[in-house]
Structure 1
Amino acid sequence: MAPIWSKQPLKGAFITFHIIRTLIILPWLIVRHIPKSARPFPQWSLKLSVINPLARELFVYQTETRSNGMSTVESEHKKAKERHSLTNPADAGVYSGVLSPGAVKPAPVGGLWYPAPISKESPTLDDEKVVLHFPGGAFVLAFGQEMYGQAVSTAMSKHLKASRTFFAQYRPAVDDATRFPAALQDLVTFYSYILSLGFKSQNVILSGDSAGGNLVVALLRYLETSVELPLPGAAIVWSPWVHVTPRAGADYETCRNAGSDVLIPSLLQWGADAYFPKHERTPEELAYISPLNHPFQTRVPLFIHAGAVEALYAAIEEFAKQMTEIDGNRVKLHATDFTTHDLIMSYPGLGMEQEVKNALTDASSFFGL
């Protein structure tokens, strides 16, 4: 059931209350965290100590009002003009098995090109590396805006030498037509689109953060069984949400560092409630939705990043271990000390460019780029 604050006139009242509350707590957060001893970790900067609780406040607002941010994404896509691409579903045969159209069907989805889209004047794409990135959002929030896309693109071009990045916004789960496997169908749509432009599959690097990381793992699982699509050259997942259960909020509350990380239990519960299919889930569907304890064989090198003090770290570490133990897999876990959830999306505002460089330099070496 949606919170009472998600509909007018109570939604308007909650927004007003939230703005006033934020203005009040901001100076208090700054003063409170000036002493290093008062910070969640003495190694944290003042900026990180203040931004994390502010981010939680934003997630409270979005969760209580059911504001998923998709209207903002669509507005920015329009402003981007030729850098925006609306991608239509691929041929029906591409969506098989758990992705077979039923109540949930593939649909047009959009994303942003960085620094520019492919044009007729573009030279051959034979040697171009392209990053196909999927943002997080607990399956219910949209983060396909310019500020996030630019941050990801800048990091990928600098440290992975990717000539282009496509920042792809899949459908958030808002109704029965966008539950699982809608978002995963969208990833297949985007991947098919990238290949249709002429990029070689071995030059495509899949990337995803948080719930987007979950979806990249699911896409790898799917591609290993697909006869229609070739495998990409590599995959990076940032703080992937690998343990998604019907009790997501309660599960998160038991995690170490849950109180100091940016995520909140109610957001994850909203995401799980909205994303899980309404029917009784099959074992195959559960493996796609929650990859922890469902490892699989993949021929794609998989680089996993996690913040060493993020609440999801233990689950991510265990997932990496399980994947590593599968014969033939090439998997590497890179943990950044004293870093919280989703480094790739938050690093510009936190001044953590060096940490992103270290992670991507490690990934580049691991991939042999």
Structure 2
Amino acid sequence: MSVVVSEHKKAKERHSLAEPAAENLYSGILNSSVCKPAPVGGLWYPAPLQEGSPNLDEEKLVLHFPGGAFVLAFGQEMYGRTVSKAMSQYLGASRTFFAQYRPSVDDATRFPAALQDVVTFYGYILSLGVKPHNVILSGDSAAGNLVIALLRHLETSSNLPLPGGAIVWSPWVHVTPHAGEDYESSKNAANDCLTAPLLQWGVEAYFPKHEPTPEELAYISPLHHPFLTRVPLIIHSGTAEAFFDTIEEFAKQMIDVDGNRVKFHFTNFASHNLIMAYDGVGLEHEVESILRDASSYFWQ
């Protein structure tokens, strides 16, 4: 976390702290006796949005959550600039808020702590006066899982208005206690950028200490737990990543839910987490194609 704190100091006015929202917004699965909502921070790109700013009706904002197997917090400046560049150029977003939820490091930050944090961030963005239909949720890898969980929460247990859309990049949708073995048995594991020990560490840190209830498992591991959402959703995966088969299956399950507006995008030969890696591997055109389609899907 020291890297994140250091970057926030350097960012100065672009760093904002989101305080927990009203208690009733953490209802249902988020109401935990052990994990409590806490202040969480993030970085604005290119500049912060202030409450009461002019032209709020025209603001189109991406709220992006980075991955990290639930246990890592990446350098926000490097990856935040990469993500915000794409969102600005191709999705048409006027701003991106790169939001760092709490990694799972102890019992107080296990599930559902990170999900509490994404609710906190979403409530914070709306409190600034941004119109809900102009907010796009975005998350990669483990944070793609969290965005999916947030959509489920918004549909079932929250009084918050729905966002204009959501896009998840290489979401970790099959999260089990034997995540390391799951990864090693997948067909693309040998050539992908993830590792079995990292994923195993992630699940052991993230899973609640008690035996999860069926409802909790649906939030933790959305594969085979599709749900109805009124939010347009785009799911992306690379065909060369180890998660591809489970992501494709989850996308099919969501598409099959009557009333859902879900699209599945895939990029041939791409490995895990295109939105974070595209700038260094020559795949900017592929990201452009996905986000231009998303722009028309969400906002036109």
TM category (shorter chain) comes to: over 0.9
Match of 2:207, as an amino acid?
A: F
In 2, Cα distance between the equivalents of 1:293 and 1:119?
Answer: 41
Q: Which has the higher contact order (CA 8 A, sep 6+)?
A: 2
Of 106, 110, 115 in structure 1, the residue corresponding to residue 46 of structure 2 is: 115
Paired-residue identity, %: 72
* Aligned match of 2:253: 322
Alignment of 1:268-287 (within 5 A): 268-287=199-218
Does the aligned pair in 1 maintain the 2:228–2:260 contact within 8 Å? yes
In 1, Cα distance between the equivalents of 2:66 and 2:156?
Answer: 24
Change (3 A) 1:121 1:301: closer
| Aligned-residue offset at 1:74 | 1.3
Q: Is 1:169 matched up with 2:100?
A: yes
Alignment of 1:140-289 (within 5 A): 140-289=71-220
In 2, Cα distance between the equivalents of 1:186 and 1:349?
Answer: 30
In the TM superposition, what whole-angstrom CA distance separates every residue of 1:289-326 from its partner, at most 9, and x where no partner exists? 00000000000000011001111000000000000010
Q: SS state of the match for residue 86, structure 1?
A: strand
Match of 2:137, as an amino acid?
A: L
In 2, Cα distance between the equivalents of 1:113 and 1:368?
Answer: 21
Match of 1:135, as an amino acid?
A: P
In the TM superposition, what whole-angstrom CA distance separates every residue of 1:121-151 from its partner, at most 9, and x where no partner exists? 8312112110000000000001251010001
* Aligned match of 1:30: none
Q: SS state of the match for residue 126, structure 1?
A: helix
In 2, Cα distance between the equivalents of 1:82 and 1:101?
Answer: 33
Change (3 A) 1:91 1:253: same
Of 254, 260, 279 in structure 2, the residue corresponding to residue 348 of structure 1 is: 279
Change (3 A) 1:138 1:227: closer
Cα RMSD of the aligned pairs, angstroms, is: 1.1
In 2, Cα distance between the equivalents of 1:112 and 1:367?
Answer: 24
Q: SS state of the match for residue 166, structure 2?
A: strand
Does the aligned pair in 1 maintain the 2:63–2:138 contact within 8 Å? yes
**Length, aligned pairs only:** 300
Q: Taking structure 2 as the reference length, what is the TM-score of the superposition?
A: 0.98
In 2, Cα distance between the equivalents of 1:304 and 1:127?
Answer: 26
In 2, Cα distance between the equivalents of 1:143 and 1:296?
Answer: 30
Does the aligned pair in 1 maintain the 2:51–2:127 contact within 8 Å? no
Q: SS state of the match for residue 287, structure 1?
A: helix
In 1, Cα distance between the equivalents of 2:199 and 2:52?
Answer: 45
| Aligned-residue offset at 1:90 | 0.5
Match of 1:285, as an amino acid?
A: E
Q: Is 1:100 matched up with 2:11?
A: no
Q: Taking structure 1 as the reference length, what is the TM-score of the superposition?
A: 0.80
In the TM superposition, what whole-angstrom CA distance separates every residue of 1:245-281 from its partner, at most 9, and x where no partner exists? 0000000011011000000000000000000000011
In 2, Cα distance between the equivalents of 1:252 and 1:339?
Answer: 17
Structure of greater Rg: 1
* Aligned match of 1:131: 62
Contiguous gaps of at least 5 residues in structure 1: 1-69
In 1, Cα distance between the equivalents of 2:152 and 2:121?
Answer: 16
Change (3 A) 1:216 1:254: same
Does the aligned pair in 2 maintain the 1:95–1:185 contact within 8 Å? yes
In the TM superposition, what whole-angstrom CA distance separates every residue of 1:93-141 from its partner, at most 9, and x where no partner exists? 1100110141110001000000101237831211211000000000000
Q: SS state of the match for residue 206, structure 1?
A: strand
